[in-house]
Chains A and B, each alone.
Chain A
Amino acid sequence: MPSTLRPPRLRWPAALAACLLATAAQAGEIRVEVRADDGEPLADAVIVAVPEQGGAAAGARRDRAVMDQEDKEFVPYVLPITVGTQVDFPNHDSIRHHVYSFSPAKRFELPLYIGQPAAPVRFDTPGVVVLGCNIHDWMIAYVYVADSPFFTRSGEDGMATLGPLPAGRYQVRVWHPRLDGAEADTARALDVPATGALSARWQLGLKPDFRIPRAPIPGGSGY
């Protein structure tokens, strides 16, 4: 594992934004609004656009991402990445965490550690990987391994902008941790113009949130 290669810390949105800004003149974009079925804005929804022409080479980019652990929580809650991205799991707490995943897309385990693990974890299979901490049951995070380089995540206002995208026809789909039903069902075919923005709106049915409440005593071992 390329644990010795320590690239500069880079937050992918920033990189993406730079990229988007650089290409803004030649490409269009999709402005997405995600809402729950009760009309509330839905944050942490992942929007993925897959070009129909198949031009986009999945996993072509060698990206790195970070899943922080701060104050006994994973940050961010939902981390969309593209296939092949290596993710670091730095522990910023003063206690140890035991990060694991039983998800078929990526099963791994980072037994009790403090600070930066020796190597990042590389996610090679598209799919959803649920992260947990064996010590702190309530800690949960999702790594969405996308099979496309075009993806984004909704903010608190449920808004997200996907682009700049090369003009063309895309299959656009939305995923959320509480999504009730199959992700494929959300897919829509959208034609992205060469310039300008395209608006799209998704309203999602949600499942109950099974997030385990935090342990009442800080530092205590909750379940």
Chain B
Amino acid sequence: MGNTTGRFNLLTKPLRNALARLRSSLGARPDGAAPRRSSLGRALAHRMIVFVALLLVAGQVLVFLAIDRAVSANTLVSVRGEIAVGERIFRRLLDERSQQLTAAARLLTSDFGFRQAIASGDQATMASALGNHGSRIGAAKMVLIGPDGQVMASAGASIGAEDAFPALVQAAMKSGSASAIALSDGRPHQLVVVPVLAPAPIGWVVVGFRIDAALAAELGQLTALDVSFASWQQGQGWTLSASNLPADAREHLQGLLDQTTPANAAYRLAAGAPDERVAAATLLVSGKDQAVLAVLQRSMAEALERFANLRTILIGLAALSLAATVVGSGMIANSISRPVTALVQFAQRLESGDYERGPPPGGNDELGQLATAFENMRLAVSAREQQIKAMAYHDALTGLPNRALFNDRLQQAVGVAQRLDNPVSVMLIDLDRFKEVNDTLGHHVGDQLLIEVAVRLRGVLARATDTAARLGGDEFAVLLPTADEATAREMAQRLRRAFTQPVFIEGRTLDVGGSIGIASFPRHGRDPHVLMSHADAAMYFAKRKRLPYAVYETRHATAMDGSEQLAMATELHLAVSSEQLVLHYQPRISLRQGTGLHAEALVRWQHPKRGFLAPQAFMPFAERTDCIHEVTRWVVGEAIGQAARWHAAGLPVQLSINLSVRDLLGPHLVGDRRLALQSHGASARWFMLEITESAIMDDPARALEVAGQLRQMGFQLSIDDFGSGYSSLSVIKTLPVAEIKIDRSFVAQVTSDRDDLAIVRSVIDLAHHLGLEVVAEGVESSAALALLKDLCCDHAQGYHVAMPMPLDEVETWLRARQTGRQGRPASGERTA
């Protein structure tokens, strides 16, 4: 995780987001809650952009379709309009053309030479004149009709009755000229009939002009339409005689025409589906056996081409507005999601307990209201938290900080002290006889007493940084940051003085007394727990010794805090039952001639996790709990058993066994020892029971009683650690002990410290005078050994003599010692 986060920090933000999205899309859990939450605002933005864009696209598609539809419909209408206009133009053009042709024919017939020729009456001359003049105006046909309506001559083709065009000539005779479209030789022609005036009409000339592709093209160009002429003859159907259509469209038109008759052609063509071309048709000639149809068409595709540009512009505009919308909505979404993200971050800060900063400033909109609501929530939560904190960290009765707050402050103070190299001191205060007050005067008195104590504690503390706390029950603590041991002592004195004033409660006068334990950082420990535990040990020591206060010393140590103690109690029980305990033996030598083998049985704990533990590591703890009984029972039993085996094996070793205070004061000690002896068939004389000086002094009367009983059983007794306690010589005098062991603290520097030398010398003298033997412990050099021998010390024990050894080694050592200075040489032997 840490690795991942580290790598992530190297990535750019967008990359990280992309990666996070990718991973969330793959279903992987995001690294933490934060990336997922910050993407919330962005997701909102994305959704908004996508929605708006889709909406726009849909709208534009609809608009586009509507416009496209309208354009198509409109185009159709406009094409129809164009065709209508084109049709009118077409008719007009045909009219004009016939007028032009008429005019041209008139000009032709008014030619004097022509008239002369016509007037000549000679058939050949007339025909040739018709041909000659007809070619001048591009006529396809020239027929001369007499005033009687009979054909007089014609150019080109032979004279036939069908050339008479009687109806047309009749019309011309009435109105001076006439024109029409008619089929001639199966082809559509535009016919013009004009009189030959000399100057009164002497005949009529029919001039025919072919309706051909060139005409269709010309008309097409003028009307901007596709122009086709179709002729129909009875029995032959439609023939597309002239058209400017492309070949395929021509075929298509032919196909359409084939389905019609002259009567319905115009209607059918105009009403037909406007698939490719919109059409209109005019029947120019309609006869029983012939018809000429003019078809005007307009291509839809060409008409729609005009709108192709519009379509491009529409698409361009759509794309432009889409882009603008995406950018715009992105900006709007961002402007929404940014405050949302900021609010989310603010909420995350709240979640992590940071109530210091308010939410990001918001406007007057909904987000601003949300921010205001958040702010109110923050203030309320913060206030409530303060309240809860006060309740959680203070003692309700006295108003002093409770254990939790005290530990907190201690932790901080130690932390600061470690950085700044300051001292820190803690004091633990335990009231004397508080239980009696509670039990005899009632809890309410006890409570008032505690309140009074708290008041006095506060009164004594001078500095604001000092903290007085009630840890529970009648236990108080004081934290003195930056105070060293001396300052702490001073403070303890002041507390002492403050407590000498009696307390008046309900008319009673109560003495307040307490025991104070002091431990200082860094001298007595660098860890808050260790400090507290050491202060506790010192306090316990002070209480035991009825001292006003005690500064921690190593001998008070339990080196364990509460939880460790609890764990160790469990472990110790297990150790006793599962043979994790072993006995090591430290031999001692006699500094006088001829005395026998002696060793002290020392318990070791083969701890499964912590390894080999010396008794100092767990015995002080055991001594303060009932564990000591088990341990002692095991030790004594083991030692008795071993002694019995050695004696049986011919090693008459006398074993020293340590007894603790609790052992001594416990009810079962004597009975247990008796049972143990009996079970191993051992003799009490083989054993020296060592009792510490302090154990005796705790309860001298009980000690005396038990010692007497043990002595009666045959055990020899020894006072251990002599000189470390405050023994009363009178007590020692009355005790049935055989020897005293000088505390190692005196022996260690006996060769260099004159005071120690004086003490050791005095003790030896005193002991000898009382008829006791003296054992010097902690002999660590040959010089010390020699000096002790000179001082007439009876026995020596220490690293220089022999280390504590496991069973097999000590056996070897003892046997070597027994069999007359063979085997492993002992240091004691060298000096002896």
Contacts from A to B (Cβ < 8 Å): 100-103, 107, 130, 132-134, 137-140, 177, 207-208, 210, 212, 223
Q: Are A139 and B110 in contact (CB under 8 A)?
A: no
**What separation, in Å, do the CA atoms of A155 and B162 have in the docked complex?**
45
Q: Are B175 and A223 in contact (CB under 8 A)?
A: no
User: Could you tell me which B residues sit within 8 Å of A by CB distance?
Assistant: 106-107, 110, 112, 115-116, 119, 173-176, 195, 197-202
Complex CA gap A2/B29 in Å reads 141
Say whether A130 contacts B106, CB under 8 Å. no
Other-chain contact of B112, A101, A134, A207 (Cβ < 8 Å): A134
- The CA of A212 and the CA of B198, in the complex, are separated in Å by 11
A167 CA to B173 CA in the complex, in Å? 42
Structural contact, A208 and B200, CB atoms closer than 8 A: no
Q: Is the CB of A177 within 8 A of B200?
A: yes
Q: List 23 A-B contacts (CB under 8 A).
A: A100-B112, A101-B198, A102-B115, A102-B198, A102-B202, A107-B119, A130-B198, A130-B199, A132-B197, A132-B199, A133-B199, A134-B112, A137-B199, A139-B199, A140-B199, A208-B174, A208-B175, A208-B176, A210-B176, A210-B197, A210-B200, A210-B201, A212-B199
Known: A102-B116, A130-B200, A140-B200. A210 touches B110 (CB 8 A): no
Bound complex: CA of A102 vs CA of B117, how far in Å?
10
Chain B residues lying within 8 Å of A208, measured Cβ to Cβ, are: 173-176
Q: Is A132 in contact with B198, judged by CB distance below 8 angstroms?
A: yes
A-B interface, 9 closest residue pairs, ranked by CB to CB distance from nearest: A102-B119, A132-B199, A102-B198, A140-B199, A130-B200, A134-B112, A223-B110, A210-B201, A137-B110
Q: Within the assembled complex, what's the spacing in Å between the Cα atoms of A134 and B198?
A: 9
Least CB distance, B468 to chain A, in whole angstroms: 139
Q: Tell me the bound Cα distance from A94 to B605 in angstroms.
A: 169
Q: Can you name the residue of chain A whose Cβ is closest to the Cβ of B120?
A: A102
Most chain A Cβ neighbours within 10 Å, of B174, B176, B195:
B176
Cα distance, A223 to B105, chains bound together (Å): 12
Bound CA span A101–B200, Å: 10
Q: Bound state CA distance, A80 and B115, in angstroms?
A: 25
Chain B proximity of A182: nearest CB distance (Å)? 12
Q: Could you say which of B106, B119, B173, B175 has the most chain A C-beta atoms within 10 Å of its C-beta?
A: B119
Contacts of A207 in B (CB 8 A): 173
Q: In the complex, A44 Cα to B597 Cα: how many Å? A: 197
Q: Give every chain A residue within 8 A of B176 (Cβ-Cβ).
A: 208, 210
Residue contact A210 to B195, C-beta cutoff 8 Å: yes
Given contacts A102-B115, A102-B119, A208-B176, contact A223 B106 (CB under 8 A): yes
Taking the nearest CB of chain B, how far is it from the CB of A115, in angstroms?
Answer: 22
B121 to chain A, nearest CB (A): 9
How close is B710's CB to chain A, nearest CB, in angstroms?
175
A107 to B116, CA, bound (A): 11
Rounded to whole angstroms, the CA-CA distance of A107 and B200 in the bound complex is 14
- Give CA–CA (A207, B200) in the complex, Å: 12
Tell me the bound Cα distance from A140 to B201 in angstroms: 11
Q: A100-B198, A208-B174 are in contact. List 15 more A-B contacts (CB 8 A).
A: A100-B112, A102-B115, A103-B198, A107-B119, A130-B198, A130-B200, A134-B112, A137-B199, A208-B176, A210-B195, A210-B200, A210-B201, A212-B197, A212-B199, A223-B106
Chain A residues with CB under 8 A of B200: 130, 140, 177, 210
**How many angstroms between the C-alpha atoms of A212 and B175 in the bound complex?**
13
- Chain A residues lying within 8 Å of B106, measured Cβ to Cβ, are 223
- The smallest beta-carbon distance between B214 and chain A, in angstroms, is 28
B107 surroundings in chain A (CB, below 8 A) = 223
A127 smallest CB distance to B (angstroms): 13
In the complex, A137 Cα to B116 Cα: how many Å?
14
Residue of B nearest to A178 (CB): B200
Shortest beta-carbon distance from B148 to chain A in Å:
12
Task: A103 to B174: give the CA distance in the assembly, Å.
Answer: 22
Can you name the residue of chain B whose Cβ is closest to the Cβ of A107? B119
What CA separation (Å) do A86 and B175 show in the bound complex? 36
Residues of A within 8 A of B201 (CB): 210
Among A100, A103, A210, residue most surrounded by chain B Cβ atoms (within 10 Å): A210
A133 to B115, CA, bound (A): 12
Q: How far is the CA of A138 from the CA of B197 in the complex (A)?
A: 10
Looking at the assembled complex, report how far the CB atom of A176 sits from the nearest CB atom of chain B, in whole angstroms: 12
CA A139 to CA B110, docked complex, whole Å:
13
Q: What is the chain A residue whose CB lies nearest that of B202?
A: A102
CB proximity of A35 to chain B, nearest CB, Å = 22
Residues of A within 8 A of B174 (CB): 208
Query: Closest Cβ of chain A: how far from B686's Cβ, in Å?
Result: 176
User: For A107, what are the chain B residues with a Cβ–Cβ distance below 8 Å?
Assistant: 119
CA distance A134 to B115 in the complex (A): 10
- Distance in angstroms between the alpha carbons of A139 and B201 in the assembled complex: 13
Q: How far is the CB of B627 from chain A (nearest CB, A)?
A: 153
Question: Whole-angstrom distance between the alpha carbons of A223 and B176 in the complex?
Answer: 15
A212 and B173 alpha carbons, distance in the complex (Å): 14
CB distance from B145 to the nearest CB of A (A): 15
Distance from A202 Cβ to chain B, minimum over Cβ atoms (Å): 21
Chain B residue with Cβ nearest A207: B173
Q: How far is the CA of A130 from the CA of B176 in the complex (A)?
A: 18
Instruction: Identify the closest chain A residue to B110 (Cβ).
Output: A223
Closest chain-B Cβ to A41's Cβ sits at a distance in Å of 22
Docked complex Cα distance between A103 and B176 (Å)? 20
Taking CB atoms, residues of chain B closer than 8 Å to A177 are 200
- Tell me the bound Cα distance from A107 to B195 in angstroms: 20
For B195, the chain A residues whose CB sits under 8 A away are 210
> Within the complex, what minimum Cβ distance (angstroms) separates A142 from chain B?
8
Among B174, B198, B202, the most chain A Cβ lie within 10 Å of the Cβ of: B198
Give, as a whole number of angstroms, the nearest-CB distance from B602 to chain A.
161
Residues of B within 8 A of A134 (CB): 112
A residues in contact with B202, CB < 8 Å:
102
> Which partner residue on chain B sits nearest A209 by CB separation?
B176
* A138: min CB distance to chain B, Å: 8
Contacts of B119 in A (CB 8 A): 102, 107
Residue of A nearest to B175 (CB): A208
Which B residues lie within 8 Å of A212 (CB)? Answer: 197, 199
Instruction: Across the interface, name the chain B residue whose C-beta is closest to A128.
Output: B200
Chain B residues contacting A133 (CB-CB under 8 Å) are: 199
Closest A residue to B115 by beta carbon equals A102
Complex CA–CA separation, A208 to B177 (angstroms): 12
Closest B residue by C-beta to A141 = B199
B residues near A223, Cβ cutoff 8 Å: 106-107, 110
A210 contact set on B, CB distance < 8 A: 176, 195, 197, 200-201
User: Which of A102, A107, A177, A212 has the largest number of chain B CB atoms within 10 A?
Assistant: A102
**Inter-chain contacts of A102 with B (CB < 8 A):** 115-116, 119, 198, 202
- With CB as the reference atom, state the residue of chain A lying closest to B198: A102
Instruction: Report the minimum CB–CB distance from A75 to chain B (whole Å).
Output: 16
A137 to B200, CA, bound (A): 10
Bound-complex Cα distance A100 to B119 (A): 12
Alpha-carbon gap, A212 to B194, bound state (A): 13
Nearest CB of B to A183, in Å: 14
Chain A residue nearest to B200 in the complex (CB): A130
Q: How far is the CA of A51 from the CA of B202 in the complex (A)?
A: 32
Cα-based distance from A101 to B115 in the complex (angstroms): 11
Residue of B110, B175, B195, B202 ringed by the most chain A CB atoms within 10 A? B110
Residue of B nearest to A142 (CB): B200
Give Cα A133–Cα B199 distance, bound, in whole angstroms. 8
The smallest C-beta distance from A50 to any residue of chain B, in angstroms, reads 25
- Residue from B173, B175, B199 having most chain A Cβ neighbours under 10 A: B199
Shortest Cβ gap from B152 to chain A (Å): 14
The residue of chain B having its C-beta at the shortest distance from the C-beta of A109 within the complex is: B116
Query: Cα distance A132–B116 when bound, in Å?
Result: 12
For residue A161, give the distance in angstroms from its CB to the closest CB of chain B: 28
- Shortest beta-carbon distance from A11 to chain B in Å: 25
- Measured between C-beta atoms, what is the minimum distance from B196 to chain A in Å? 9
Q: Which residues of B contact A130 (CB under 8 A)?
A: 198-200
How distant is the Cα of A207 from the Cα of B199 in the complex, in angstroms?
Answer: 15
Question: In whole angstroms, how far apart are the Cα atoms of A137 and B107 in the complex?
Answer: 11
Distance of B38 from chain A, by nearest CB (Å)? 97
What's the Cα separation between A135 and B199 when bound, in Å?
A: 11
Tell me the minimal C-beta distance from A211 to chain B in angstroms. 8
Residues of A within 8 A of B110 (CB): 137, 223
